[in-house]
Chain A
Amino acid sequence: MPEPSEFELSGRVTIGQYLPTGSVLHRLDPRVKLCMGLLLIVGTIGTRSLLGLAILMAAVLFGLRLARVSLRFALSGLSPALPFLFLLALLQVFAIPQHVAGSAVVWRWRFLVATTGGLFAAALLVGRFCVLVLGISLLSFSTNTTELTHGVEHLLIPLQRFGLPAHEFALVVNIAIRFLPILAREAERLMKAQASRGADLGRSGGGPVTRARRLLPLMIPLFLVSLQRADGLVEAMEARCYVGGKGRTHLIQLRARPVDMATLAACLGLSLLAIGLGTLGADAWLLHRLASHT
Chain B
Amino acid sequence: MNTASTPIVEVRGLWHTYLAGTPLETPSLRGVDLCALRGETVGIIGPTGSGKSTLLQHLNGLWRPQRGEVHVCGLSVNDPAIDLRVIRQQVGLVFQNPEDQLFERYAGDDVAFGPRNLKLGREEVRERVREAMEQCGLPFSFKDRLTLELSQGERRRLALAGVLAQRPQVLALDEPTAGLDPQGRLELLRILRQWGKDGDRAIILASHNMEDLAELATRVYVLVAGQVVLEGPPEQVFERTDVLVPAGLSVPPAVEVIQELRRRGFTVPHAVLTPAQAIRQIEAILHA
Residue numbers of A with Cβ under 8 A of B are 1-2, 5, 7-8, 10-11, 14, 17, 19, 21, 69-70, 73, 76, 189-190, 192-200, 216-221, 224-225
Residue numbers of B with Cβ under 8 A of A are 17-24, 57, 60, 62-64, 66, 85, 88-89, 92-93, 95, 98, 100-103, 113-114, 117-118, 162-163, 166
Residues of B within 8 A of A220 (CB): 103
- Tell me if B22 and A11 are in contact (CB < 8 A): yes
Partner among A2, A5, A221 whose Cβ is within 8 Å of the Cβ of B102: A221
Instruction: Tell me the bound Cα distance from A73 to B23 in angstroms.
Output: 8
Minimum CB–CB distance from A221 to chain B (whole Å) comes to 5
Instruction: Tell me the bound Cα distance from A217 to B23 in angstroms.
Output: 33
Partner among A5, A17, A189 whose Cβ is within 8 Å of the Cβ of B63: A5
Residues of A within 8 A of B63 (CB): 5, 7
**Can you list 9 residue pairs at the A/B interface with Cβ under 8 Å?**
A11-B18, A70-B23, A76-B22, A190-B101, A195-B62, A198-B85, A200-B117, A221-B101, A221-B102
Q: Provided the pairs A200-B117, A217-B103, A221-B100 are in contact, do residues A192 and B19 lie with their beta carbons within 8 angstroms?
A: no
Given contacts A2-B21, A14-B22, A70-B23, 19 further A-B contacts (CB under 8 A): A1-B21, A5-B64, A7-B63, A21-B23, A73-B22, A189-B95, A190-B100, A193-B98, A193-B101, A196-B62, A196-B93, A196-B163, A197-B117, A197-B162, A197-B163, A198-B118, A198-B166, A218-B103, A221-B100
- Tell me if B60 and A216 are in contact (CB < 8 A): no
- Tell me if A192 and B57 are in contact (CB < 8 A): yes
Residues of B within 8 A of A2 (CB): 17, 20-21, 66
Q: In the complex, which residue of chain A has the Cβ closest to the Cβ of B15?
A: A2
Residues of B within 8 A of A192 (CB): 57, 62, 93, 95
Instruction: Tell me the bound Cα distance from A217 to B64 in angstroms.
Output: 24
- Find the residue from B22, B24, B93, B98 having the highest chain A CB count within 10 A: B22
Instruction: Tell me the bound Cα distance from A200 to B63 in angstroms.
Output: 16
Instruction: Tell me the bound Cα distance from A196 to B166 in angstroms.
Output: 10
- Tell me if A221 and B103 are in contact (CB < 8 A): yes
Instruction: Tell me the bound Cα distance from A192 to B61 in angstroms.
Output: 10
Residues of A within 8 A of B89 (CB): 198
- Tell me if B57 and A216 are in contact (CB < 8 A): no
Residues of B within 8 A of A70 (CB): 23
Minimum CB–CB distance from B11 to chain A (whole Å) comes to 17
- Tell me if A197 and B114 are in contact (CB < 8 A): yes
Instruction: Tell me the bound Cα distance from A8 to B103 in angstroms.
Output: 22
Minimum CB–CB distance from A20 to chain B (whole Å) comes to 9
Minimum CB–CB distance from B26 to chain A (whole Å) comes to 11
